[in-house]
Every structure is written in C-alpha cells, then in structure tokens.
C-alpha cells in the first residue's frame, strides 16, 4: 500500500509539472507601450516563480492585446494538442495603460497553469530559472482590475469616463432646396460604450438652386442639440435632436429678402469609428434627418419651395478621447 501511494504521489507531481507548462503565442500593438514577448514572459515568470513556456508543450497559451475604441483589451485562451479550448478570458483595461492589461493577463495565465502553486515547488532546481521578484520597469506591482470572463454581459470598457471631442464635414440633401456641405463638431463624455454629446451643425448650399417655379434659391441651416451614441467594437449608432434656424431667400428677384424660420429635426446615425492611435479615431457616418417643423420659402407671398419629409447625408471626421 505504501508503494502504491508513493507511485500515485510521483504521478500526481509529474502530471502537475506537465499541466504547468505551455507554448506561448503572443501578440500586442507596438505603439501602445505594450511589452514585447520576452517582457511578457518575464511578467508571467514573476507571478509563478518559474518560466512556464516551452516549445511544443502539450498546452498552448494564445495571448493578445488589441486596441478598441474604448481602450485596450487583453485576450487569453488555452488549448490542448487537439485545439480544444481549455480556458478563455478577456481583460478590459484603460485606454493608455497597456502594462495594466499585461499584468492582468499574467495573473490569468498563472492561475490557469498553476492554480495551487504546486508546479513552482516541483520544478527541477538545475533547469529552473532564477525567480523574478519584481515586475519589469513600467508595469505596476499593485493588483490590477478584476479579470472579466469573455461571456460576461457587462458593458465593454469599464466605468472610466473620458472627454470626447469630434469634428468633421457632412454632405446632406433634403434640408434646403439644394444639396449642402458643412461642418459638424461636438463635445461630450464617454463611459464604456455609451457616448453623450452636444453637437452643432451648419448646412450650407455651395451653389444656388433653380426650383420648379423657375425661381433661384439659396439657404443655410444652423442647428445644435444633444446626441446619444452606443459604440460596439468599431460600430456606432446614434440618435439625437437638433434645434436651430433656417435662413433662405430668392436671388433673382428685385428685392431679395432673407426669410428666417425655426428649424427642428430628429436624427439617426450609424457608421464606424476606427482607432488611429490611443487618442484619435477616424469616423464615417450615414445619417437620416426627419424635420419636426417643415420649412418653406415664399416669394411675393407665393410658396416656391417646401422641405421634404425626410433628409439624409454622409459625414466624415475625427474623434478624440482623453
């Protein structure tokens, strides 16, 4: 019985060593201050007290850090020799601290490989590297934010609040007698995937437009209002309301007079926001604008143009978050 127990203990000890070794597949952005592969190995070794990564080990660890509109995201997945997934974790971090994400990933890998610290105590002294007692420079020693399971239903991006600025230009139809070109800009806050903005828009007709009555018209629309957006990965959808003024006039008349009226619309937008770096992102949006107040232009008491019931356009611009 004693011999059988000893054989079981030896088998358990060897089995623990095998399970605590893995082949590493690592990738991270080069421009975000993220550790390279060797630095990441050192971080994991600092947590375990030994280097767990071996070429052609029975387990593979796939670790990657990617940039999203909300910040940096770490992904850790473990597979066996048959490519069966043994564990999968996703770590959300702040927009600028890649070291925080890397340290969180190291903790996840340490727990996955050696949850009870058995393997570290059983590594052969001759082949084990010297334990790393402190993390590499630039990476925090304090415990990082909690690790989030990839199946969690929590909103991405955590609870950090960022200042958001955006600006660009849009081409629109349906707001004035002719097509318009004008600036779009705004300021707001972002928390996770939610963005709340105060937007301002100017829609200018680059050229005069001759309407069915034969009159030549020009017009400009000035608006501002709140916009709420939901951002998921690189996709963004927004709804908002715009209030302002419509100004227009006939040009080929004896006494052209500018007519000013109240303008209001409900807006819906959808598009993509692709990160350029840790602060800037490029944004492309399609929008639909539904006038709440229908505007019109009159010449000599005769209505020569009525706004359609639906307008729309395309916008391009940049967004920055801090």
- Helix (H) or strand (E) run with residue 103 in it: helix 98-113
User: 3-state class of 12 per DSSP?
Assistant: helix
CA distance 5 to 127: 27
Q: Do 142 and 177 lie in a common domain?
A: no
Task: Evaluate whether residue 287 is within a structural domain.
Answer: yes
Average pLDDT, the chain: 80
- pLDDT band for position 23 (cuts 50, 70, 90): very high
The residues near 108 (Cβ < 8 Å, ≥ 6 apart) are 76, 89, 91, 147
Q: Is position 197 within any domain?
A: yes
Asked if the structure places residue 156 within a domain, the reply is no
Residue 139 — pLDDT band, cuts 50, 70, 90?
A: very low
* Pair (122, 36) in one structural domain: yes
Least confident range from 108-117, 241-250, 268-277: namely 108-117
Alpha-carbon gap, residue 312 to 269, rounded angstroms = 9
292: domain CATH number is 2.40.160.20
Q: Strand locations in the chain, DSSP E?
A: 23-27, 60-68, 71-79, 85-92, 148-149, 161-173, 180-191, 194-204, 209-210, 216-232, 235-250, 259-275, 280-291, 296-299, 302-306, 311-321
| 91 and 172 assigned to the same domain | no
In which band, very low, low, confident or very high, does the pLDDT at 140 lie, cut at 50, 70 and 90?
A: very low
Do 140 and 167 have their domain in common? no
Q: Do residues 287 and 314 touch, judged by C-beta distance below 8 A? A: yes
Residue 189 has pLDDT above 80, yes or no: yes
Please check whether residues 216 and 73 belong to one and the same domain.
no
Residue 228 clears pLDDT 90, i.e. is over it: yes
Residue 128 has pLDDT above 60, yes or no: no
List 121's β-bridge partners, or say none: none
pLDDT category, 256, cuts 50, 70, 90? Answer: confident
Same domain, 171 and 307: yes
- Judge contact between 91 and 59, C-beta under 8 A: no
79-104 CB burial, b ≥16 within 10 A, e <16: beeeeeeeebbbbbbbbebbbbbbbb
Confidence of residue 7 (pLDDT cuts 50, 70, 90): very low
| Residues 226, 101 share a domain | no
Q: Is residue 165 part of a domain?
A: yes
Q: With bands split at pLDDT 50, 70 and 90, how would you rate the model's confidence at 19?
A: low
Residue 223 covered by a domain: yes
- Give the model confidence (pLDDT) of 42-77 as tens digits: 999 988 888 889 888 888 999 998 887 777 888 999
Q: Which of 149, 175, 194 is the last residue of a domain?
A: 149
How far is CA 114 from each of CA 89, 119, 149, rounded to the nearest angstrom?
16, 6, 19
Residue 13 lies in a domain: yes
CA distance 289 to 177: 15
Are the beta carbons of 140 and 46 closer than 8 angstroms?
A: no
Mean pLDDT of the region 278-289: 93
Q: How confident is the model at residue 134 (pLDDT cuts 50, 70, 90)?
A: very low
Q: Does residue 24 surpass a pLDDT of 60?
A: yes
Q: Contact 51/45 with Cβ under 8 angstroms?
A: yes
d(CA 235, CA 296): 36
Q: Do 84 and 213 belong together in one domain?
A: no
* pLDDT band at residue 33 under the 50/70/90 scheme: confident
CB atoms < 10 A from the CB of 216, how many?
Answer: 17
Least confident of 10-19, 72-81, 153-162, 190-199: 10-19
| One domain for residues 100 and 13 | yes
- The last residue of one of the domains, among 149, 181, 204, is 149
Measured distance CA(217)–CA(214) in Å, rounded? 10
170 and 24 housed in the same domain: no
pLDDT of residue 225: 95
Range of weakest confidence among 149-153, 254-258, 301-305: 149-153
Residue 118 located in a structural domain:
yes
User: Where does a domain end: 101, 118, 149?
Assistant: 149
Among 43-57, 111-125, 244-258, which is the least confidently predicted range?
Answer: 111-125
Domain annotation covers residue 154: no
The domain tally of the chain equals 2
User: Could you tell me if 171 and 314 lie in one domain?
Assistant: yes
Q: What is the DSSP letter of 28?
A: -
**What confidence category does residue 180 fall into, taking pLDDT thresholds of 50, 70 and 90?**
very high
The reported pLDDT for the residue numbered 18 is 52
pLDDT in tens, 144-178: 444 444 444 344 444 478 899 999 999 999 989 99
Are both 313 and 170 inside the same structural domain?
Answer: yes
Q: How many residues does the chain have?
A: 322
Range(s) of the domain holding residue 70: 2-149
The mean-pLDDT minimum among 51-55, 238-242, 249-253 falls in 249-253
């Amino acid at each position: 019985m004693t011999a059988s127990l000893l054989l079981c203990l030896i088998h358990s000890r060897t089995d623990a060593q095998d399970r605590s070794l893995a082949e590493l597949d690592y990738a991270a952005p080069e421009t975000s201050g993220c550790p390279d592969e060797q630095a990441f190995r050192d971080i994991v070794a600092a947590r375990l007290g030994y280097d767990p990564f071996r070429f052609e080990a029975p387990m593979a660890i796939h670790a990657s850090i990617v940039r999203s509109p909300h910040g940096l995201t770490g992904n850790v997945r473990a597979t066996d020799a048959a490519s069966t997934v043994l564990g999968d974790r996703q770590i959300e971090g702040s927009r600028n601290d890649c070291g925080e994400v890397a340290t969180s990933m190291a903790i996840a890998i340490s727990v996955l490989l050696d949850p009870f610290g058995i393997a570290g105590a059983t590594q052969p002294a001759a082949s084990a590297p010297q334990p790393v007692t402190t993390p590499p420079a630039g990476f925090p020693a304090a415990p990082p934010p909690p690790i989030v399971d990839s199946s969690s239903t929590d909103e991405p991006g955590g609870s950090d609040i960022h200042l958001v600025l955006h600006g660009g230009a849009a081409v629109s139809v349906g707001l004035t007698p002719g097509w318009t070109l004008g600036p779009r800009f705004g300021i707001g806050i972002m928390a996770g995937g939610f963005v709340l903005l105060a937007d301002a828009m100017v829609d200018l007709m680059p050229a005069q437009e001759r309407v069915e009555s034969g009159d030549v018209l020009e017009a400009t629309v000035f608006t501002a209002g709140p916009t709420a957006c939901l951002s998921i990965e690189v996709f963004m959808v927004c709804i908002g309301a715009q209030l302002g003024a419509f100004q227009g006039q006939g040009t080929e008349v004896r006494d052209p007079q500018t007519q000013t009226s109240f303008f209001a619309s409900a807006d819906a937008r959808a598009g993509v926001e692709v990160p350029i770096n840790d602060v800037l992102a490029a944004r492309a949006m399609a929008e639909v604008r539904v006038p709440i107040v229908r505007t019109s232009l009159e010449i000599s008491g005769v209505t020569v143009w009525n706004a359609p019931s639906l307008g729309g356009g395309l916008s391009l611009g940049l967004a920055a978050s801090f």
